[in-house]
Amino acid sequence: MPYYIGDVIKDERKLIARTPEKFEASGIHVLLNRKVEEVDGEKREVRLENGERLPFDVLVLATGAAATRPPIPGLDLPGVYSLKSLPEAVAIKKAIGEGGAKKAAIIGAGFIAMETAEAFRSAGVDTTLIQRAELPVRRWDPEYSAMVKEELQKHGVHCMPLTSPRAVERGASGGLKVVTDRGEVEADLVLVATGVKPNTLLAGQLGVAVGKTGAISVNFAQETSREGVYAVGDCCESFHRVSRSWTSLPLGDVANKQGRVAANHICGVEDEFPGVLGSAVCKVFDYCVARTGLTEREARAAGFDAEVTLTPAPDKAHFMPEARMLMLKLVADRKTRKLLGAQAVGPGAGDKRVDVAAMALTAGMTVDQLAHADLCYAPPYSPAVDNILTAADVMRNKFDNIFKGVSAEALQAELSSDATPVLLDVRTQAEFDQMRLPGSLFIPLGSLRARLKEVPRDRPVVCFCKISLRGYEAARILQGAGYENVRVLDGGLITWPYGLESGD
């Protein structure tokens, strides 16, 4: 629907996956505009609002999820929308086109908020993103959420982090305004995109068990706790194959796969839905933002001894004009060396690498096995050693104590402590003159062996360059020369979120 609002899709009818006529042609009777008033599990019948009763042998609950809304006044005003149905998308597009809306406020910062912010900007609408958290897309780790925020701001989206909406009111000029704890935001339309909640009302009537996530509990055949009653889609839980726990993951692809499993089981065909990895991808202007498995935070919360790598690199052979930068983050378990998760952010093809990681997770592969995966190579499509394989090799080096990294967050904390490390910048003179970390020691990599005496031996040393490939080489040189406390800035300056000093 965001792509319809942004006029990428011209005809809203193309968003209708299956019409009633197509269902009827398959022998499936469709009742539209009928509200289910009650489900009687003992009599095994569904009672509709008009009094009609439908008996059943098997019942499938596919009641989806409802949009959540913050408990603030004014969300019922005209011009305030959610985006859970096609009529809402049509109304929003009409408000921009025929209504001439020029300012929009979005409450929330998840997938729908990101995609709709791009749609609004492509339509020339001044857009403000209001969120309680510090960074958008909370399902990503902070390093990459920060990059998403930069991409939003680069394209003119006004971000208001750490901001709580208090009310939506009529504005002085006839429009709307969002009242927050940090001021007021004028808008011609307001989109509330604060997530969804599983719709379990009918499940409650049936006495069907609901899990800790608030979604309906099911087994691997999508059966609920009540015989003959199944649940599929956003209303039910899914088993996470990495954390080994039940979770609520309202995604369209998951719903389709669960529906097929339930249908097979009902028809006597052996099938199971083995679970999910949380694989997801989102387009944010020029960035592909993708993930699978566990984030670093989720992995530690699940009890894993998690190690991480940040590996920025071009997504194609570096000499190809269409090569684009891609930042990959891998999460793996030190004990088993198994991959736990992957995240990708950047203008490069992140979906491809995350899909490879998803298959590695499905197979329970170690990073050693992933590093030797036989992937396709041609300069227009990938480097000779693909990004995901390079990331796996970096992880292997960390596990084998060849590569000792430090995150940007940890290094920033050290720079404010008494044990300040030496920041060794090994880029070229031209790179250093353009932008640099304040207080860094500059020695180009090619000169490092001849200038080792300039690097103090009585302090920790952190080596870096643009993406830390040369930083890693510098660390190996120092280690070979007897330096003991040497680390590499994970991801290099390209992933440094705290600002750099201009060379001007």
Please give the single-letter amino acid code of residue 270: E
What is d(CA 306, CA 337) in angstroms, rounded to the nearest whole number?
Answer: 9
Q: Which two tokens stand for residue 286?
A: 């020029």
Extended strands (E) in 98-228: 103-107, 126-130, 158-160, 165-170, 176-180, 183-187, 189-192, 196-198
Please state the separation of Cα 263 from the chain's center in Å. 30
What is d(CA 18, CA 78) in angstroms, rounded to the nearest whole number?
Answer: 30
Contacts 24+ apart (CB under 8 A), 266-275: 266/58, 266/60, 266/230, 271/221, 272/220, 272/221, 273/220, 273/221, 273/222, 273/238, 273/239, 274/220, 274/239, 274/241, 275/220, 275/238, 275/239, 275/240, 275/241
What lies within 8 Å, CB to CB, of 501 at 6+ separation is 435, 436, 437, 438
What is d(CA 438, CA 77) in angstroms, rounded to the nearest whole number?
Answer: 50
Q: Are 230 and 222 in contact (CB under 8 A)?
A: yes
Please give the single-letter amino acid code of residue 107: I
Q: Are 204 and 215 in contact (CB under 8 A)?
A: no
What is d(CA 176, CA 95) in angstroms, rounded to the nearest whole number?
Answer: 13
Is position 465 annotated as part of the catalytic site? yes
Catalytic entry in 159, 282, 288, 465 = 465
Using CA atoms, how far residue 431 sits from 375, 428, 454, 466, 500, in Å, is: 33, 5, 20, 9, 12
Q: Are 326 and 349 in contact (CB under 8 A)?
A: yes
21-51: burial string, b at 16+ Cβ within 10 Å, e else = eeeeeeeeeeeeeeeeeebebeeeebeeeee
DSSP state of 196: E
Active site residues: 465
